Amino acid sequence: MKQWRFVSGWLSFFLLMVGGLFTSPVYSAESDKNFVTDLNSTYTVTNQGLVNVEHNFTITNQTPTTYVKQYAIRLQQTGLENIKALSQGNSLTPNITTAEDQTNIALAFPDAVVGEGKQRKFSISYTSPQIALITGQVLEVRIPQLADATHYRQRQITLITPLRFGLPYRVDPTPDTTQTDNQTITQTFSSLEQTGVMAIFGQEQIYNLTLRYFLDNPSGSPVTTQIALPPTTAYQELQYQSLEPRPTKVHQDADGNWLAEYLLRPHEQVLVNAVALVRLTLDANPTVPQVPPLTEHTQAREFWPVDHPEITALSSSVKTVAELYQLVIEKLDYTDQNLTQDIVRVGAVTALSQPTQAVCQEFADLFITLVRSKGIPARRVAGFAYTDDERFRPSSLAGDVLHAWAQFFNTATHTWQSVDPTWEDTTGGIDYFSQFDLNHIAFAFNGLSSSLPYPAGFYKQSDSPTQDVVVTLADSFPDVDPNFKLEIKPNSIFGFNLPGLYKLNITNQSGQAWYWPKIEIKATGSVRVNPEDFSWPQILPFETKELNIFATNPGWKLTPTDFNLSLQLGPDGTSVNLEPETQIVALPAIIKSWRQFVIILSLVSGFTIVILGVGSLLVLRQKKFRALRGQSQKSQEPDQFIQKPGPTLKQN
């Protein structure tokens, strides 16, 4: 049942029985030859986000003796209201049953329409709360594919939306026609084949984030720990209003995570509070540098055993990532157990052995493992997925109602493509592979590791009732002016400050990242200040970058001077001028670069050390020689004072 359901799609139409000389209890391939079915479906979205659906069927007999007695549809959704049916202009009483997030609507026709070429026309209508989603000012409509499009000779979808949402910013496939009036926009689609319709009205969504991180050092020694701050990516932009206390260091890892480090004293506890705005967009921001895939993104990890026989057996017969994605949805069922209890992550292989107990992390883990087994880079995204229906679009990752999905590196587009097999499963086939949405906020990427870093929501104080992740809709995303602090420190060798050679600490005090910075330094007079070669793709919020500079003057003496640093930010060339509070001293221009200066100093220092060493050896040798000579003289002194016998005197 699971496999059939997702191969055929969300909206499944089938004959229960045909009548006449050739009756059949089911809609078989043989009975399909007896009829031709045309279907026109109209989806009308209200201002409140409800969708009034009307399916109009025309079934044409292909034989003179076979006719339709009963018909039924299966919908992968519940909560339907105002279910009605008409046949040949007469009202019918539908038989409605629900089970496993499905609604079955069966019709029995009281009359017989017999004869080759004769037509049975009927309609089924209802109101659905699940096809459209209004989040802030954004309307998202996803109409899943129908069951077995080959059973329909003609099929058309008409989508009617309120004019207040405007024209769709993104729609797939391209509509055949688009018409507007004073209140609505009407789009028609006929070239659907095995696809549904996705339309998003609005190009961005803005949220408020309030995050708490509880840090604890139970040991008797100081430790350095780090937290993962939600980062800016090509499809989401972060703007931090506050981060208290400030970290000792901020940097980006190979997966694009923003890591903030904190030094905790022995037995110290620290509560970090972050408040931010996040803007999600459908179009990628080309300014944000792409994190490149690494060899590690294809390797086995704790929850991703890419070489396990069961994994390789599954992936060996599948050629594309899209097929692997569908395989995950076919193999796993989202659990209906109570998710308020602790959720234990089991990994890809165990998920296959207990397929009805899967939550979002099992869907993501299995997809990542299968994709990596094909040598394609893939990783996990842990974050928050904004939803107004936990049953329809659930969030079940441990922590403060978080969600997990996946990314693979698309070699055709050279981008990390996000997919959510969990939501495609729970929504009954809404496409979360080829088109993503404005509801998923990435908190952390797990690629080099299958678990680290932990996202916000995983730093909870035990037994604390406080919600550590709060996400609400926001109205605006204001522009932020660059705010940088410049500090200058002299370089030193052996504890001595060196003229001309300095370290600049450039700290981003604004709450957003700035990309592809360029630096220009101008000094007073004829002094030149040259920075060392550097390549900074970005300067993160509250991050400090270190830069060596070298100052020279055309004269032959040391010259004190003031200077100004201009920081060019981003493709629009936003400029920030920074002036240090202290002067620098420039060296004679005969020294061409700071590296040459360091080499000369090293050589001079080395030569001085050698001279001093040789001199010390000579001094020591001279002292030793004198000492030895003194010892020699002392050994001869007793002989010098021995009285030698004088001439013999004669006695008279």
Asked whether 52 and 160 are in contact (CB, 8 A), the reply is no
Per-residue confidence band for 466, with pLDDT thresholds at 50, 70 and 90 = confident
pLDDT digits (tens, 9 = 90+) for 117-169: 999 999 999 999 889 989 888 999 988 776 555 678 888 999 999 999 998 99
User: Has residue 43 been placed in a domain?
Assistant: yes
Same structural domain for residues 427 and 503? no
The type of residue at 514 is W
Burial letters for 261-288: b for 16+ Cβ neighbours within 10 Å, e otherwise?
ebebeeeeeebbebebbbbbebeeeebb
pLDDT digits (tens, 9 = 90+) for 60-100: 999 998 888 999 888 877 789 999 999 988 999 999 998 76
Structural domain including 97 reads: 2-201
Please, how many CA atoms are within 13 Å of residue 186, restricted to the half-sphere of its CB? 9
Asked whether 190 and 159 are in contact (CB, 8 A), the reply is no
> Cα-flanking dihedrals φ and ψ of residue 573, to 5°?
75, 30
Q: Is the pLDDT of residue 430 over 90?
A: no
Same structural domain for residues 43 and 168? yes
Same structural domain for residues 312 and 196? no
Per-residue pLDDT, 236: 97
Same structural domain for residues 357 and 441? yes
pLDDT digits (tens, 9 = 90+) for 168-177: 999 988 999 9
Per-residue pLDDT, 393: 62
Asked whether 161 and 199 are in contact (CB, 8 A), the reply is yes
User: Has residue 526 been placed in a domain?
Assistant: yes
- In eight-state DSSP terms, residue 631 is H
pLDDT digits (tens, 9 = 90+) for 246-292: 999 999 999 999 999 999 999 999 999 999 999 999 999 999 999 99
User: Has residue 495 been placed in a domain?
Assistant: yes
Same structural domain for residues 493 and 415? no
Per-residue pLDDT, 389: 64
Per-residue confidence band for 644, with pLDDT thresholds at 50, 70 and 90 = very low
Classified as helix, coil or strand, 416 is strand
Per-residue pLDDT, 48: 92
User: Has residue 555 been placed in a domain?
Assistant: yes
Q: Residues near 139 by Cβ (< 8 Å), separated by ≥ 6? A: 45, 49, 132, 133, 161, 162, 165, 200, 201, 202
When pLDDT is averaged across residues 552-570 and rounded to a whole number, the result is 85
Per-residue pLDDT, 421: 96
Alpha carbons 550 and 195: distance in angstroms, whole number: 62
When pLDDT is averaged across residues 98-116 and rounded to a whole number, the result is 88
Same structural domain for residues 329 and 423? yes
Count of domains observed in the chain = 3
**Residue holding tokens 């179009």?**
283
Per-residue pLDDT, 622: 58
List the beta bridge partners of residue 258. 229, 252
Per-residue confidence band for 229, with pLDDT thresholds at 50, 70 and 90 = very high
Asked whether 558 and 597 are in contact (CB, 8 A), the reply is no
Q: Is the pLDDT of residue 10 over 60?
A: no
* Alpha helices (H) in 125-179, listed in sequence order: none
pLDDT digits (tens, 9 = 90+) for 477-490: 999 999 999 999 88
Same structural domain for residues 441 and 490? no
Alpha carbons 488 and 502: distance in angstroms, whole number: 7
Same structural domain for residues 362 and 430? yes
Could you please report the per-residue DSSP string of 508-562? E-SSS-EES-EEEEEESTT-EEEEPP---SEE-TT-EEEEEEEEEESSSS-EEE-
User: Has residue 240 been placed in a domain?
Assistant: no
The type of residue at 404 is A
Alpha carbons 291 and 250: distance in angstroms, whole number: 17
When pLDDT is averaged across residues 626-643 and rounded to a whole number, the result is 43
Per-residue pLDDT, 526: 83
pLDDT digits (tens, 9 = 90+) for 506-529: 999 999 999 999 998 888 888 888
Per-residue pLDDT, 23: 26
Most confident option among 458-462, 497-501, 640-644 = 458-462
Asked whether 459 and 213 are in contact (CB, 8 A), the reply is yes
Asked whether 392 and 427 are in contact (CB, 8 A), the reply is yes
In terms of pLDDT, which residue wins out, 394 or 332?
332
Per-residue confidence band for 391, with pLDDT thresholds at 50, 70 and 90 = low
Alpha carbons 199 and 186: distance in angstroms, whole number: 12
Asked whether 145 and 10 are in contact (CB, 8 A), the reply is yes
User: Has residue 274 been placed in a domain?
Assistant: no
Per-residue pLDDT, 316: 92
Q: What is the CATH number of the domain that holds 415?
A: 3.10.620.30
List the beta bridge partners of residue 13. 73
pLDDT digits (tens, 9 = 90+) for 576-617: 988 887 888 888 876 555 455 554 555 455 555 555 555 555
**Residue holding tokens 């109205």?**
475
When pLDDT is averaged across residues 391-407 and rounded to a whole number, the result is 71
Per-residue pLDDT, 30: 45
When pLDDT is averaged across residues 381-409 and rounded to a whole number, the result is 77
Per-residue confidence band for 238, with pLDDT thresholds at 50, 70 and 90 = very high
Same structural domain for residues 439 and 491? no
Alpha carbons 371 and 327: distance in angstroms, whole number: 11
Per-residue pLDDT, 426: 83
When pLDDT is averaged across residues 211-233 and rounded to a whole number, the result is 97
Q: Which of 134, 167, 201 is the last residue of a domain?
A: 201
Same structural domain for residues 37 and 96? yes
The type of residue at 229 is L
Q: What is the CATH number of the domain that holds 26?
A: 2.60.40
User: Has residue 165 been placed in a domain?
Assistant: yes
Q: What is the CATH number of the domain that holds 549?
A: 2.60.40.10
Q: At what angle do helices 321-331 and 309-316 cross, to 10 degrees?
A: 120
Q: Give the DSSP H or E segment for 379.
A: strand 378-385
Q: Is the pLDDT of residue 13 over 70?
A: no
Q: Which of 201, 217, 250 is the last residue of a domain?
A: 201
Percent of the chain with pLDDT over 70: 80
User: Has residue 503 been placed in a domain?
Assistant: yes
Q: At what angle do helices 360-373 and 321-331 cross, to 10 degrees?
A: 140
Per-residue pLDDT, 32: 66
Per-residue confidence band for 456, with pLDDT thresholds at 50, 70 and 90 = very high
Same structural domain for residues 185 and 107? yes
Q: Which of 424, 448, 472 is the last residue of a domain?
A: 448
Same structural domain for residues 430 and 526? no
